């Protein structure tokens, strides 16, 4: 198990390889479809995303008298961000993306060029992953996009994930798809 502790940077991220199991402690910023399109369209980010990690997640957040509490925070399907992700990497300097299901060739190339990795989080474990969130530090663009599509600034402790796309051009998703296609050919 490898550790990735805040503050993050490209040098630390480039050391990670496909297959590495990683626990992340520090800041994460959520971002789904609306945020990615918003940033892709050239709108300014309300928060500096340089050397940050974006989590493809629309958390279930309860507002309490002393702030917010996340009760569910499972990953959302990442491929929807494929048209935008590499440019968000380039334009905002992010070093990590967490989601589920993998991403495509544009994102893989972006990971190589901009020193980023794609982490796969456990789908179906939203409540367990929420337990790794120690605080909600801020929320951005909630009024504009609504709670699930807002940027939530979270502090996490030992958030578990696996590197499935690295900055060296390796993609576990691409490998599994290729091997599965070869097996399928023998079965047909």
In the annotation, is 168 catalytic? no
Give me the number of domains the chain comprises.
1
Q: Among 94, 134, 131, 122, which Cα is nearest to 110's?
A: 94
pTM of the entire structure?
Answer: 0.94
What's the pLDDT at 53? Answer: 98
Between 186 and 35, name the one with better pLDDT: 35
pLDDT digits (tens, 9 = 90+) for 108-149: 999 999 999 999 999 999 999 999 999 999 999 999 999 999
Domain at 164, CATH number: 3.20.130.10
User: Is the alpha carbon torsion for 34, 40, 44, 49 positive or negative?
Assistant: positive
Residues in CB range of 81: below 8 A, 6 or more apart: 32, 33, 36, 56, 88, 97, 99, 103, 107
* C-alpha radius of gyration, the chain, whole number: 16
Question: Of the listed 36, 56, 92, 120, which one is catalytic?
Answer: 36
Q: 167 is in which domain, residue-wise?
A: 2-187
pLDDT of residue 102: 93
């Amino acid at each position: 198990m490898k550790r990735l502790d805040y503050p993050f940077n490209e040098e630390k991220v480039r050391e990670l390889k496909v297959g590495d199991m990683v626990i992340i402690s520090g800041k994460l910023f959520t971002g789904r479809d609306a945020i990615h399109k918003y940033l892709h369209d050239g709108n300014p980010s309300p928060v500096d995303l340089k050397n940050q990690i974006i989590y493809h997640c629309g958390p279930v957040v309860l507002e309490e008298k002393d702030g917010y509490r996340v009760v569910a925070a499972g990953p959302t399907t990442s491929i929807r961000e494929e048209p935008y992700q590499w440019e968000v990497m380039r334009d905002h300097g992010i070093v990590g993306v967490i989601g589920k299901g993998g991403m495509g060739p544009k994102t893989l190339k972006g990971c190589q060029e901009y020193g980023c990795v794609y982490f796969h989080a456990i789908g179906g474990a939203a409540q367990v992953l929420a337990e790794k969130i120690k605080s909600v530090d801020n929320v951005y663009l909630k009024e504009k996009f609504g709670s699930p599509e807002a940027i939530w600034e979270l502090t996490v402790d030992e958030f578990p994930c696996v590197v499935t796309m690295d900055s060296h051009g390796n993609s576990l998703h691409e490998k599994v798809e290729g091997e599965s296609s070869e097996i399928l050919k023998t079965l047909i």
